[in-house]
Copies of this chain bind each other. A is one copy, B any other.
Amino acid sequence: MKLDAIDIRILDILQRDAEQQVAQIAEQVGLSSTPCWRRIQRLKEAGVITRQVALVDARKVNVGVTVFVSVRTSVHTEAWFETFKATVQAIPEVVEFYRMSGDVDYLLRVVVPDIAAYDKVYKRLIAGTQLHDVSSSFAMEELKLTTALPLGYAS
């Protein structure tokens, strides 16, 4: 889908605050409500906007601790991968999960209340499949965490 400058401005507004009403957004981008509304619909239909969610304060729901888990494996079969993928995706504490290039095979971001809770997740992780090496790093401070993507490359 082709995105013009106004679409990008609309996206930028919505990915920071989706509660604003259409008329307010329209004003900011110099449009009246209807065309602005049509553009938003178009962005949703095209899948540029995938969905709209409420962001929850991690500490207020008692998951203030973030752990990054690096996983190395020795097995490299398709069947192993499918099992591992399903195991990890089913763990709600895992909020990010990537297959990586380089010396680490997989990287996970896990959120938990404390180290004891992390240990349970860790055990669930290694119980599912055979892993060669698992290394955990704890985040001491969250300096930036945003769902707003940079829009400067869009076209």
- Chain A residues with CB under 8 Å of chain B are 1, 3, 11, 14-19, 46-58, 60-63, 66, 68, 85, 88-89, 92-102, 104, 106-107, 111-113, 117, 137-155
Number of copies: 2
B66 touches A139 (CB 8 A): no
B53 touches A15 (CB 8 A): yes
A18 touches B52 (CB 8 A): yes
Q: From DSSP, what is the main secondary structure of chain A's interface residues?
A: mixed
Tell me the nearest residue of chain B to A92, going by C-beta. Answer: B150
What are 12 A-B residue pairs whose CB atoms fall within 8 Å in the complex?
Answer: A11-B54, A11-B56, A16-B53, A46-B60, A50-B56, A58-B149, A62-B153, A93-B150, A95-B145, A97-B145, A98-B142, A107-B137
Tell me the nearest residue of chain B to A20, going by C-beta. Answer: B52
Contacts A11-B61, A68-B107 supplied; 18 other A-B pairs, CB < 8 Å: A1-B60, A3-B61, A14-B54, A17-B53, A47-B60, A50-B55, A50-B57, A53-B53, A53-B55, A62-B153, A63-B149, A95-B145, A95-B148, A98-B141, A99-B140, A99-B141, A101-B137, A102-B138
